[in-house]
């Protein structure tokens, strides 16, 4: 419970300290919050990963109303299916993939794969749900050619999603291995 609380506090700090949870790169934000959710899932399991991810999603949802990270957030992240559900599923996917792989391959390898898939879960679900729910509004709200929305979102996968997944696959095992050894005693 203490580690859950600590990780939830880290999520809250990452949301509000500039350049800590969201690193702006032009019109996009490189996200580091998923790392905390994945660490929770690897060390504590899928339920706790979902809990920490849910805190991130809830903060993201509230922040869309009071202090959005981008103009798009005021439209997209006010929908809890986009702001909350994918963040919960990061922990679920990472935790269960790690549980499934931990006895089949080397521990660090299992963590790397689980981290990679957890990060990709967030990217694919958030961008997929944006396309699914908002493709009809893109033309009205942003005067965007709807046919160009999918290539734009695919570009975000390449410029944000893949680097975030690689970052998770490298950083999360480095943080999680010592914590796992410490908390499994």
- Identify whether the C-beta of residue 11 lies closer than 8 Å to the C-beta of residue 37: yes
Rg (CA), the chain: 16
pLDDT for the residue 52: 96
Q: What residues in the chain have per-residue pLDDT under 70?
A: 26-28, 136-150, 185
For 53-63, letters b (16+ CB in 10 Å) and e give bbbbbbbbbeb
For residue range 124-141, list pLDDT tens digits in order: 998 888 888 877 665 445
Q: What is the DSSP letter of 84?
A: T
- Amino acid 98: pLDDT: 97
The string of pLDDT tens digits covering residues 54-90 is 999 999 999 989 987 777 778 888 899 999 999 999 9
Residue-level pLDDT at 185 = 46
Per domain, the residue ranges of the chain are 2-183
For the 2-183 domain, the top CATH level (class) is mainly alpha
- What is the pLDDT, as a whole number, of residue 137? 61
């Amino acid at each position: 419970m203490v580690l859950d609380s600590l990780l939830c506090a880290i999520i809250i700090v990452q949301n509000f300290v500039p350049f800590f949870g969201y690193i702006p790169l032009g019109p996009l934000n490189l996200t580091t919050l998923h790392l905390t959710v994945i660490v929770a899932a690897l060390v504590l399991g899928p339920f706790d990963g979902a809990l920490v991810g849910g805190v991130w999603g809830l903060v993201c949802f509230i922040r869309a109303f009071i202090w959005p990270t981008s103009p798009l957030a005021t439209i997209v992240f006010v929908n809890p299916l986009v702001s909350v559900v994918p963040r919960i599923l990061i922990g679920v996917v990472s935790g269960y993939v790690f549980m499934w792989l931990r006895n089949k391959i080397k521990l660090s390898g299992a963590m790397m794969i689980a981290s990679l898939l957890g990060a990709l879960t967030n990217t694919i679900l958030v961008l997929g749900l944006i396309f699914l729910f908002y493709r009809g509004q893109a033309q009205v709200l942003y005067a965007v050619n709807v046919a160009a929305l999918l290539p734009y979102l695919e570009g975000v996968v390449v410029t944000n999603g893949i680097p975030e997944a690689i970052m998770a696959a490298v950083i999360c095992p480095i943080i999680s291995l010592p914590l796992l050894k410490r908390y499994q005693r």
